[in-house]
Structure 1
Amino acid sequence: MIMKRIIIIVAIIAIATTKITFAQSKTDAAFNQVLLAYYDVKNALSTDKKDAAIEKVKVLTAKVNDVPNKDLTTAQQKVWMEQSSIIKSKAAQLAGSNDIKTQRKSFEGISYAMIKTVKTIKFNNATVYIQHCPMAKASWLNEKENIENPYYGSMMFDCGDISETIKSK
């Protein structure tokens, strides 16, 4: 009889922790989709593709809207609500412009919001590099170590350096 109770209790605990882990991994997966969409925008700008940047930033906005934030801590939720609002606002500015300089300025706001999000929520399933261009006085996230400058594109494609490395969680 005692053994049955122990087995039932262990089963309940296992189910409860699995549900919490699954919910968190679902949230992390959604955040990683946001990060991948962000990289697509960065890659479009770093290769001077302003039309692609417009299309990619629309995908980024959709991915931001898809993040289930109820599984975040209160502090994480606060940060995400603030930063996602900035990302969506700057994404709308970027999408509404055909001028690549204006797009890049909007991307700077998206980048700082993404940097704060990654550093605070720590969801990344791959190493993220925070890179900085001293000429633009701006930073961005990159999925690889090689510099791919979204603020100057082909004019100074590899201008910048890695200012921080965020290991995968």
Structure 2
Amino acid sequence: MKKQIITAIFTVLAMSFATAQKKKDAQVSKLYQNYIAIKAALASDDAGKAAKSASEFVQTASAVKNNTIPVKNLTALKNEASGIAKTGNISAQREIFHHLSDDMYALSRQFSFSEKPVYLQYCPMAEASWLSNEEKIINPYYGSSMLTCGTVKSTIK
């Protein structure tokens, strides 16, 4: 009888933990979708759209519940996205995006962004990485001038 009660308690706790983790992953997944919108805007050389997408990223980050992402990490993400949103200079946006990408990659090691694979891609010319929801290289650091420059470094499942 004690064994059954203990098993039932552990099952309930495990299910509660799994549900809480899925909620955290869902919040972070929204950030990832905003990040992908910034990446797409930079790849299409659209500074205005990158700024708008970065503003949406900041709004999503501001809605993330406490203790989902460590405050230090969340603050860095918000600051970087705010920097992209505040400048109309695509070169400056791309430089900030480099840091945003590094921080999003760090986050990908703690959370699941998507049920589909996430690709870590690298541009040797920019010496910078980014995350993508597709294996095809669409370079946000050089846009139309070098759209397919880069390689897939790893796949995050």
Q: Which amino acid letter does the alignment assign opposite residue 51 of structure 1?
A: G
Alignment of 1:58-73 (within 5 A): 58-70=55-67
User: Cα offset for 1:93?
Assistant: 1.1
Question: TM-score normalized by structure 1?
Answer: 0.82
| Structure 1 portions without partners, runs of 5+ | none
Within the alignment, does 1:158 sit opposite 2:148 as a pair?
A: yes
CA contact (8 A) 1:87 1:110 kept: yes
What is the aligned counterpart of 1:26 among 7, 23, 26?
23
| Off by >6 Å, runs of 4+ in structure 1 | none
Within a 5 Å distance, the mapping from 1:134-153 to structure 2 comes to 134-153=124-143
- Answer yes or no: is the 8 Å Cα contact 2:28–2:111 preserved in 1: no
Alignment-mate amino acid for residue 37 of structure 1: N
1:118 has 2:108 as partner: yes
What is the number of residues matched between the two proteins? Answer: 156
Q: Provide the C-alpha distance between the structure 2 equivalents of 1:132 and 1:69, rounded to a whole number of angstroms.
A: 32
2:155 partner SS = strand
Unpaired segments of 5 or more residues in structure 2?
Answer: none
- Bigger proportion of residues as helix: 1
Q: C-alpha distance in 1, partners of 2:81/2:40? A: 15
Q: CA deviation at 1:87?
A: 1.4
Give the distance between the partners of 2:18 and 2:59, measured in 1 at CA.
24
Question: 16, 32, 39: which one pairs with 2:13?
Answer: 16
TM-score, length-normalised on structure 2?
A: 0.88
Amino acid at match of 2:118: V
Q: Structure 2 CA distance, aligned partners of 1:30 and 1:68?
A: 8
Give the secondary structure class of the aligned counterpart of 1:129. Answer: strand
Contact kept in structure 2, 1:128 and 1:142, CA below 8 Å: yes
